[in-house]
């Protein structure tokens, strides 16, 4: 019986026979990094909003409300961190399986796609369906900021698809 704690053997097939790079790892990196950009830049640096800053029970003008928003922001960062960890685990597994390494355009295209997906899903769910926060409330036009956030997500997806396709074409056939 094989030792379950023994490391997996690394297969090194020829480039033409190797399996293509994994896509999911790069997408997870993009989702996680997009979450970090949102949380660090919009929540912490610019302080435009917090995770539940538009919920009446958690106003950012009270200590209790700010504590609740800070906790929600922290949990949001935990999810972003878990996406990056999962992407890292999948990357190592792909390496152990002898998969081809992605080209930069293959990988970066999918990372940007993950970020775009993050913006679209988070924007639609949190800004529009649940209404727990908006990109920016203090200027009197939250819808414009929310639509801009969605437009950025769509642009990231469109550009990333073109970049990723270029990376796919650079992989060996087979």
How confident is the model over 76-112, as pLDDT tens digits? Answer: 999 999 999 999 999 999 999 999 999 999 999 999 9
Q: Model confidence over 61-78: pLDDT tens digits?
A: 899 999 999 999 999 999
- Find out whether 97 and 12 touch, Cβ atoms under 8 Å: no
Please name which of 132, 142, 135, 145 lies closest in space to residue 52, comparing C-alpha atoms. Answer: 132
Average pLDDT over residues 125-137: 91
Lookup: tokens for 159: 């550009």
- Spatial distance between the Cα atoms of 6 and 97, rounded to a whole number of angstroms: 15
75 compared with 57, residue with greater pLDDT: 75
- Return the pLDDT at 35: 96
- Find out whether 80 and 36 touch, Cβ atoms under 8 Å: yes
Of 58-72, 112-126, 130-144, the poorest mean pLDDT is in 130-144
- Spatial distance between the Cα atoms of 116 and 49, rounded to a whole number of angstroms: 20
- Spatial distance between the Cα atoms of 50 and 48, rounded to a whole number of angstroms: 7
- Return the pLDDT at 16: 47
Lookup: tokens for 23: 């896509």
- Spatial distance between the Cα atoms of 97 and 77, rounded to a whole number of angstroms: 30
Residue 34 has pLDDT above 50, yes or no: yes
Annotated domain spans of the chain? 24-169
- Spatial distance between the Cα atoms of 98 and 87, rounded to a whole number of angstroms: 17
């Amino acid at each position: 019986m094989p030792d379950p704690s023994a490391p997996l053997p690394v297969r090194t097939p020829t480039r033409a026979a190797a399996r293509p790079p994994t896509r999911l790892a790069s997408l997870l990196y993009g989702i996680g990094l997009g979450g970090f950009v949102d949380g660090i830049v919009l929540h912490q640096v610019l302080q435009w909003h917090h995770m539940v800053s538009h919920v009446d029970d958690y106003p950012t003008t009270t200590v209790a409300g700010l504590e609740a928003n800070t906790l929600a922001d922290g949990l949001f960062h935990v999810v972003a961190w878990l996406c990056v960890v999962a992407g890292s685990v999948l990357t190592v597994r792909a390496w152990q399986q002898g998969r081809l390494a992605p080209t930069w355009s293959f990988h970066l295209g999918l990372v940007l796609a993950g970020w775009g997906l993050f913006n679209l899903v988070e924007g639609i769910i949190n800004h529009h369906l649940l209404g727990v926060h908006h990109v920016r409330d203090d200027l009197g036009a939250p819808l414009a900021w929310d639509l801009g956030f969605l437009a950025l997500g769509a642009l990231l997806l469109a550009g990333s698809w073109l970049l990723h396709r270029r990376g796919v074409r650079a992989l060996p056939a087979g």
